[in-house]
Amino acid sequence: MNEQRLLDTFLDLVKLPCPSGREGQAAAYCKVALEECGCTVTIDGAGPKIGSDTGNLYAELTGTAPGSIILTAHLDCVQPCEDVKPRIVDGVIYSDGTTVLGGDDKVGVAAIIEMVRTLVEEGGEYPTVKVIFSVQEETGCRGAANFDAANFEPGEPCFVFDDAGDVGGACLAAPYHYTFTACFIGKASHAGVAPEQGVSAIEAACCAVERMRQAGVLGAVGSYCASNIGRISGGSANNVVAPQCEMTGECRAVEQTDVERVRSAMDDAMREAANMVGAQVEVDWSLEYPGFKIAEDAPIVRMFCRAATRAGFTPRTFMSTGGTDANQYVKLGVDPLVVSTGMTKFHSVDECLKVADLENTARLAIALVRERAGEA
């Protein structure tokens, strides 16, 4: 493994602007890097379907041993992610404080590219390596949802490099995730002259939030179960009783029974609130992705633990209420395991990444591929 080359690749990647929907420059960079290693690289047709300027990148490196393995990361970042100016202080990479760093998920992308380069340079036995760099992960894993299942084989081990925590961690469960858009319809009236003749849609929305709070289904609801109101907007002017208001939110839980219970209670709260103030409401729910759970003794977990130990890490497992592309890949018949990459304070301008964690992520990727060759 070439540590300086890995660092240079990471710094190159985070400097490329790639908000969700505009991952094209990053995809082009990765395509060149992987083709130089002898990979067959294609860009799928997901882009036009979901409004991205590129599709998912899919690459294959033909193995020298039987079997295959999938390693994946996503190309997009949350905003603000343009004009990133990375700096390294005492072995830690930061942005300049005006943008995110982009370690979520460029650490995974850079580590996988370095893994492929290392395999080609070192030779030896390795299985066919399948690489996916997806688009629009941050907007509901939409790229992964449109990936072609024909590229997968049933039961194929799939490692998603996209979680926080020290390298050596693996997530065994991820949530069912619902989102909603609620449109409250009231009645306009002059707020100063005849407020009693109006019905405030904003009041109905606020009442709904309070009813959710009283029902105990807002925020951290329980073990690996949470909900949130993300946005409320409505009204037309200060002197007009608001005739309309839109509210969006979500709920998620590892257990399907928990997420359905919370979803039902949130829905009831919105309908009851509208009825209380004399408004109407239309609520549109969408299952963004299903949850999944993997047994501690599943073959992919045992494989991960052997590889992590081989690379010098102490393997550990955990559960999370954060969704990733794994939630989509599980529907395609593969066994996805989300692994930690050391990303810290992601989705904020305080995001940072230790250079050592970047290097350790690449070491883990190499160890996983070598371990798979030994299994086949």
Question: Average pLDDT of 39-44?
Answer: 97
| pLDDT, position 215 | 97
What pLDDT, in 10s, does the model give residues 325-352?
Answer: 999 998 888 889 999 999 999 999 999 9
Question: 176-289: which CATH topology?
Answer: Alpha-Beta Plaits (3.30.70)
277 φ/ψ angles, rounded to the nearest 5 degrees: -100, 0
SS3 percent helix, strand, coil of the chain, rounded to 5, is 35, 30, 35
Helix (H, G, I), strand (E, B) or coil at 131: strand
Residue in the block written with tokens 């460029």: 106
Mean model confidence pLDDT for the chain: 95
Q: How far apart are CA 274 and CA 267, in angstroms?
A: 11
89 φ/ψ angles, rounded to the nearest 5 degrees: -130, 120
Helix (H, G, I), strand (E, B) or coil at 145: helix
For the entire predicted model, the pTM comes to 0.88
| pLDDT, position 375 | 66
Q: How far apart are CA 235 and CA 339, in angstroms?
A: 45
- Predicted confidence (pLDDT) at residue 229 exceeds the cutoff of 80: yes
Question: Average pLDDT of 109-133?
Answer: 97
* pLDDT band per the 50, 70, 90 thresholds, residue 376: low
Q: Does domain 3-174+291-375 have CATH number 3.40.630.10?
A: yes
| pLDDT, position 321 | 87
% of residues, the chain, pLDDT over 70: 99
What pLDDT, in 10s, does the model give residues 295-311?
Answer: 999 999 999 999 999 99
Cα–Cα distances (Å) from 142 to 52, 167, 182, 284, 342, in that order, read 10, 26, 22, 19, 24
Q: Is beta strand 292-293 parallel, antiparallel or unpaired with respect to 176-185?
A: unpaired
Domain definitions of the chain by residue range: 3-174+291-375, 176-289
Residues near 83 by Cβ (< 8 Å), separated by ≥ 6? 17, 98, 99
Question: Average pLDDT of 275-293?
Answer: 95
CB 112 within 8 A of CB 137: no
Q: CA dihedral in degrees (18, 24, 26, 32; nearest 10)? A: 180
